[in-house]
Structure 1
Amino acid sequence: MSKQVKAIVIAGNGTNCEREVANACRLAGAEVADIVHVAELLAGRVRLDDYHFLNLAGGFLDGDDLGSAKAGANRLLHAPVKGSQEHLSDQLQRFVEDGKLVMGVCNGFQLMVKMGLLPALGGEHRKQSTTLTFNEGGRFEDRWAYLKVDPQSPCIFTKGLEGVYLPIRHGEGKFVADSAATLKALEDKHLTAVKYSDAAYQAPTMDYPLNPNGSQNAIAGICDESGRLFGLMPHPEAYVHRTHHPRWTREDDLPEEGMGLWLYQNAVRFVRENLL
């Protein structure tokens, strides 16, 4: 088996953050970070089986015409792979069962919840139980947010972190569960890996603009019970160097590495220790 960490970033049909995500994977230490158009996967020219770390990048899948990422979710769930008896969802299911990593950012997070990949309570990866809908304020939000990390979460990507400061840019980022029972299960199992918080990362908040979209329980991102599948609305790939910080010219003590890079470094470390 190859000793290289291989990441794949799916592009096409409206994604626009794939280059930043691939760059973050490379900076984190992945030897391979391929940007692959979804058409290449459906044509059978590229297979998910050849990679360890799947990235679903942000953007506006299919123009969000059916709601954020809904059309993209249907495509990945039901489209067949040319020249094969399987669907792309079969490759994706095998990818998850093989213990590999998946991270969806912004539109990619929306895609994961609408496919049922998250939160996948009880290991059911095709049943949707949460969604991301229009921001409470009714408008697109473009700002930076403080995220408090749950130290008890099984999330691989946030391991060892207390909090991160990341940019958000979305119109449909309000996290909503389908029932009080689902929300309780997410909290009880510590699957709510990151929440919008105050600047000291002390407490989750529902106050705008610290909570930019009105998400239930201030939830900014969730993982599945394995901790290997993770989705969040803020963009870690957009803060991987100090010059990405909005105050980099005024804060001399900023480290060279941006906070967002930490999530990708955790992913690469996990692959090296468990999948190679």
Structure 2
Amino acid sequence: MTVSVVQFGGSNCDRDAVRALEHVGVDAGRVWHEDGLPADTEGIVLPGGFSYGDYLRAGAMAARAPIMAEVREAAADGVPVIGVCNGAQIGSESGLTPGAFTTNASARFQCEPVHLRVERADTPWTAAYDEGDVIEVPIAHGEGRFEIGEEAHADLVADDRVLFRYCDADGNVTDAANPNGSTDNVAGVLGERESVAVLMPHPERATLPDLGRSTDGAGILRAFV
């Protein structure tokens, strides 16, 4: 599979994403947003970083780049799309997924390992895990707090579109295990199709064994395999 990692001005995790994808056996390459999606694109990653300096709102300007119309069209056609960190903000701002990401409850940038509980194991992104599994993946964001209206949140839960929740090492979903104040400890959600997902934690930073940390994120990227 050929995966296009979309690079915007200010992206800084695009090379990391390519390297991690290659490690799990995926043919991946960076695509500058002005060049559009290559014709052979079979998967799309919206990587982390600070697209356009996070002016206005994180991800708001990148969400309006012309390439995002192509991304939305590809997603509607069933092409797998994942947004990570800033890519999650871009995904939500462009309507790929519900809700929004805003300033952490701490009002600070946070970079640390967190635990995630797998809420569904029947999606491409979680096929490597069992429901209820706890994985360790790092976060690195200042605007990672997931916010959603009460009615929309009820719909999200009823439709079973919560992919990951922040939890402790034993899988308990608690306020203390919520690093940024996200509604209902939500760390990742699905779009209307299960082939579309966004999450704030960085699976590409928990994939390469030579980094000397958890490799739990590799299972998420194997969705493209």
Q: TM-score normalized by structure 1? A: 0.76
Task: State the distance in 2 between where 1:48 and 1:92 align.
Answer: 11
Cα deviation code 1:115-161 (max 9, x no counterpart) = 00113xxxxxxxxxx11000001111011000001136x53201241
Q: How does 1:99-178 map to 2 (within 5 A)?
A: 99-119=78-98, 130-151=99-120, 154-161=122-129, 162-177=133-148
Matched, 1:221 2:188: yes
2:64 to 68, 74, 77: 74
Q: Which one has the largest radius of gyration?
A: 1
In structure 2, distance between residues paired with 1:14 and 1:156 = 29
Who is 1:6 aligned against? 2
Where 2:44 maps in the other structure, the secondary structure is strand
- Return the alpha-carbon distance in structure 2 between the equivalents of residues 227 and 166 of structure 1: 21
Shift of 1:239: 1.1
Structure richer in strand, relative to its length: 2
Unaligned runs of 5+ in 2: none
1:211 to 178, 199, 212: 178
2: distance between equivalents of 1:74 and 1:107?
A: 14
Q: CA deviation at 1:188?
A: 1.3
- How big is the shift at 1:91? 2.4
Tell me the residue number matched to 1:85: none
Alpha-carbon deviation of 1:65? 1.3
- Structure 1: which 5+ runs fail to align? 42-46, 80-87, 120-129, 247-253, 269-276
Residue aligning to 1:44: none
Report the equivalent of 2:48.
58
Q: Does 1:265 align with 2:212?
A: no
Alignment of 1:24-43 (within 5 A): 24-30=20-26, 32-41=27-36
Q: Percent of aligned positions with the same letter in both sequences?
A: 29
Bigger mean CA deviation after superposition, 58-67 or 156-165: 156-165
Paired residue type of 2:224: A
CA spacing shift, 1:241–1:157, aligned 2, 3 Å: same
Name the TM-score, length of structure 2 as normaliser.
Answer: 0.93
C-alpha contact (below 8 Å) 2:137/2:203 kept by paired residues = yes
CA–CA separation in structure 1 for the residues paired with 2:179 and 2:169: 14
Alpha-carbon distance between aligned partners in 1 of 2:141 and 2:156, rounded to the nearest angstrom? 23
How big is the shift at 1:27? Answer: 1.4
Relative to 1, partners in 2 of residues 1:186 and 1:34: Cα closer, same or farther, differing over 3 Å?
same
Distance in 1, matches of 2:221 and 2:83, equals 12
Q: 2:200 aligns with which of 233, 246, 250?
A: 233
2:1 is the counterpart of 1:22 = no
Deviation of 1:12 (Å):
2.7
- Greater RCO, CA 8 A, separation 6+: 2
Q: What residue is the counterpart of 1:186 in the other structure?
A: 156
Deviation at 1:170, TM superposition (A): 0.4
Write the deviation string for residues 173-199 of structure 1: whole angstroms up to 9, x where unpaired. Answer: 00000x211101111122110000010
Number of residue pairs the alignment of both structures matches: 222
Deviation sequence 1:200-238 (CA, Å, 0-9, x none): 22x22221xx31100000001101242100110000000
1:245 to 1:164, Cα distance in 2 relative to 1, 3 A: farther
Q: CA deviation at 1:266?
A: 2.5
